[in-house]
Amino acid sequence: MPAGRALRVAVVGGGPGGLYAAALLARQGHTVEVWERGAPEDTFGFGVVLSDETLGGIERADTVVYAALGAEFVRWDDIDVVHRGRLLTSGGHGFAALGRRRLLEILHERCAGLGVRLRFRTPAPAAAVLAASYDLVVAADGVHSATRQSGAAHFRPTLTGGRCRYIWLAADFAFDAFRFEIAETEHGVMQLHAYPYSADASTVIVEMHEEVWRAAGFDLCDEAESAARCAKIFGEALRGRPLHGNRSAWTEFRTVVNERWSHDNVVLLGDAAHTAHFSIGSGTKLAVEDALALAEAVAGAVAAARPGSEPDVPAALAAYEAARRPAVASTQRAAAASMRWFEELAGYVDQPARQFAFNLLTRSRRVTHDNLRLRDERFTRAVERDFGCPDERTPPMFTPLKLRGLTLRNRIVVSPMDMYGAQDGDGTPGDFHLVHLGARALGGAGLVMTEMVCVSPEGRITPGCTGLYTAGQAAAWTRIADFVHTCAPGTALGVQLGHSGRKGSTRLMWEGMDDPLPEGNWPLVAASELPYRPGVSAVPRALTAADLASIRSDFAAAAVRAADCGFDLLELHCAHGYLLSGFLSPLTNHRTDAYGGPLENRLRFPLEVFDAVRAVWPADRPMTVRISATDWAPGGTSAQDAVDIAAAFAAHGADAIDVSTGQVVADENPEYGRSYQTPYADRIRNALGIPVIAVGAISSWDDVNSLLLAGRADLCAVGRPHLYDPHWTLHAAADQSYEGPAAPWPAPYRAGSRKPPTGRG
C-alpha cells in the first residue's frame, strides 16, 4: 500500500492516453473512473505507430500491456521514397505498429481487470464539477479539448493551423515499408504517407497544400468520393486496390501548445496538452508517454506523503509537466520542421531523386547524416557520391566549392561576428583582430569573415567597430590578410561591408546592447525617421538624394580599399536592421519616393549600392549578400519577399546569398531552436538555384553534413562554436577521421591533431 492515501481519479476521454493513464493509476491502488462519449468500438484513424523508446517505458511500467501489444505488432525497418517513378529504399529505421481499435481493446481489458470504471457513451461532467469531487482530474479529451477550452485562462493555449489539408484512409493490404510517394498533378503536388499496421491492412494519409486541395475540388468531395479519387491518384502505390475511410474528413493539422498543463488538481494529457504533426510519428506515442510520466509523478507524491495523509497533487502535476515538457518541446520543434517541409514540398520535387529522399528522411533534423549512415551506409554513401564527395573518406563538409575565381577548400564559414575591439574609437583593427581572425584561419575553416566593417565614421555601430574609410585602417587590414594568406594558406578571408543606419551610436555590446552612448553620439541616418527602440534610441534623419549618393560612394571606396587589402570575398550587409536592411523591410521603410512603397522600390537603394561595389570589386572575386529573410514580426518581410530579394541580388551578380533573419525591429519574436534559420536559406536555394550560406544555431558537424547533402545549403556559417573553439573545423575533421587537403593542420600544430587521451584511458 502507498504511504499516502489512495486518490479518487476522474479521466475525461477514453482514447489510448486516457485509458493507459487510468490503468497505470489503478495499478497503483487508486480509484479511477473514465468518461468516454463514444462507444467502446468507436475510433478515428486506423494504425498506431509506437517507438522502441515508448515500448520500453510500457514494459517497465506494465508487463501485461507490453506482452499484449507485443503479440499484435507488425514490425519493419525500411522507408520507401518514390520520386517521379523511382523507388529508393533506406533501411535500419525500425517501426512497430498495430491497429488503433485493437490497441483500445487491449487497454479496455487491462482497465477492466484493474477495476477501472469505464463509462462509455457518457459525456463527462464539466472539469470544474469533477475537480470538486475527485482528487485528480486527467483531461485526455483530445485536440478539441473542452477542458482546455473551459480553463483557457489558466492553461493559456495557442492553436496554430497548418497550410495543408490531409485525410486518414486505409487500404486492405500491408505495405512492405513506410512509404512516401509524390504525385505531381495538374493541380499541384500531392503526397502519400502509408504504413502497415497489421498483416492485411495499412494506414494511408493523403496530404496536399490547401491551394492544391481546392484546385483539385476535394473541398467538394464527400468521404467516399475522396477515397476513390485518392486511390486513383496513387493507383500504382496501391496496386490498383481501393481505399476506404472511417468517418474520414479532410482537415488541417492544428499545433496545440499550452503555457501550463495543469491547474489545481486538473491536468491536460496527450492532444489536449500538445500536438505534433503526424509526419514524425504518432500522437498516441506522446499520449502514452505522458501517461507514463504522470503515473510516475503521482507515485512519487504518494510516496512522499505521510501515511494516510493526502498526497500533494498540484506538486505531482508540476513534476509531471517538468519531466515531460522538454521532451514534448523537442518533439514539437521537430514536428514543426517536418510539417513545414511537406508544406514546401513543391519546392523540392526538382531535386535529384536520392537527394530528395535524403532531404525527406532528414527533414525534422532528428535523423541526421551520421545517424542515417549508421542505419543504412549504402544509401548514405550513394547520396554522398551524388553530392560530389571526392571519396568515401571525405565528409560532405570537406568537399570544395567554387565561387567565381575562388575555390573554397571546404564548406565551413566563420560567421561575421562584431567584436567591438577597435581601440581609441578610430575604427582601426589592431592586434586583437589579428589574433582573433588569424586563430580562426589557422583553425581550418574554408572562409573566415570579418565583422561588419563600416564604410564611414557615422556608419559605425559602436566606437569599438572597425572601418575601411581611412588609409590607416586599410594598412591594418592588409596586415591581417597577409597573415592569413601566409600562415594559413588555402584559407579565404572575406570582408563584410555595412552601415549601421538607425542602429548606430550605441554602447559596446557588453555595456548595454543597443543602448545609446551616454556621450559623444553621432547623428543617425536611415530610410525613414523611425527609431530602433522608441523612447530609447535616437530618431534618425531620413536620407536625402544627396545622402544616398554619398553613401554609395562610401561603399564603393571601401570596396576598393578591401580589394587592395587582399580580401578574397566581399559581402554586402543588407540584414539585421542596419542601413541597407532598413530600406528592404516594410516595417522600417515608410518612404513615399522612388525608394519606398512596393518591394521593387525598397530594393532600389540596396541594389544601387551593390552595383557600385560590384563595379569596383575585382571581377574574379565573388560577392555575397547577407539578408534578413524574415523580420519575425507581423507585417514584415514575407517568405516570398525574401525569395524576391535574393533573386534581385542574384540578377545583379551576387554569387551567393547569406541567409540570416531578424534583428530588424526591437519587438521581434524569433522562433529559436537548432538550425532555426535554415528553412529560409533552404527555400531560397531551392526556389532560385543560387548558392546560399545557412546560419543560425548550426553547432555540430553532423548538422552541417546533413544540411549540405539535403540541398538546403551550400555553405554553413558557424559563429559561436568558433568562439568556444577556434579550431572547431579541424576538430570536426579529427572527429570524422578526415585527414585530407580540405582541412590541413598547420605544420606547428600537427602534433596536436589527435584528441588527447582523458582520465585513465
Residues assigned a catalytic role: 578
Residue identified by cell 575533421 is 733
Give dist(CA 375, CA 715) in Å, integer.
26
Q: Which three cell numbers stand for residue 313?
A: 497533487
Give dist(CA 612, CA 196) in Å, integer.
60
Give dist(CA 657, CA 649) in Å, integer.
8
| Non-local CB neighbours of 97 within 8 Å, separated by 6+ positions | 47, 48, 49, 50, 73, 74, 195, 196, 197, 203
Strand partners, 557: none
Q: Which three cell numbers stand for residue 386?
A: 551524388
Give dist(CA 674, CA 653) in Å, integer.
31
Phi-psi sector, 136: left (phi>0), alpha (psi -120 to 50), beta: beta
Phi, psi of 235, rounded to the nearest 5 degrees = -60, -40
| Non-local CB neighbours of 534 within 8 Å, separated by 6+ positions | none
Q: Which three cell numbers stand for residue 221?
A: 468531395
Give dist(CA 382, CA 391) in Å, integer.
11
Residue identified by cell 504504413 is 195
> What is the four-CA torsion angle of 167, 168, 172, 176, rounded to 10 degrees?
100
Nearest Cα to Cα of residue 203 among 281, 92, 299: 281
| Non-local CB neighbours of 108 within 8 Å, separated by 6+ positions | 19, 40, 118
- Contacts of 231-240 with CB under 8 Å at 24 or more apart are 233/183, 233/185, 233/190, 233/206, 234/181, 234/183, 234/192, 234/204, 234/206, 237/82, 237/179, 237/181, 237/192, 237/194, 238/171, 238/204, 239/173
Give dist(CA 274, CA 272) in Å, integer.
6
Pairing of strands 412-414, 188-198: unpaired
Q: Could you give the residue ranges of the DSSP H alpha helices within 95-166?
A: 100-113, 127-133, 146-150, 152-155
**Distances, alpha carbon 559 to alpha carbons 202, 548, 562, in Å:** 62, 17, 5
Query: H or E element: which one contains 503?
Result: none
Give dist(CA 589, CA 596) in Å, integer.
6
Give dist(CA 226, CA 409) in Å, integer.
52
Nearest Cα to Cα of residue 169 among 218, 102, 242, 239: 242
Phi, psi of 199, rounded to the nearest 5 degrees = -65, -20
Q: Which three cell numbers stand for residue 399?
A: 568537399
| Non-local CB neighbours of 551 within 8 Å, separated by 6+ positions | 455, 456, 459, 499, 543, 579, 609
Dihedral sign for Cα atoms in the order 708, 709, 710, 711: positive
Helix axes 283-304, 313-343, angle to 10 degrees: 160
Give dist(CA 141, CA 448) in Å, integer.
54
**Distances, alpha carbon 112 to alpha carbons 36, 109, 116, 147, 576, in Å:** 14, 5, 5, 25, 60
Give dist(CA 160, CA 740) in Å, integer.
48
Give dist(CA 446, CA 633) in Å, integer.
34
| Non-local CB neighbours of 348 within 8 Å, separated by 6+ positions | 341, 356, 359, 360, 686, 711
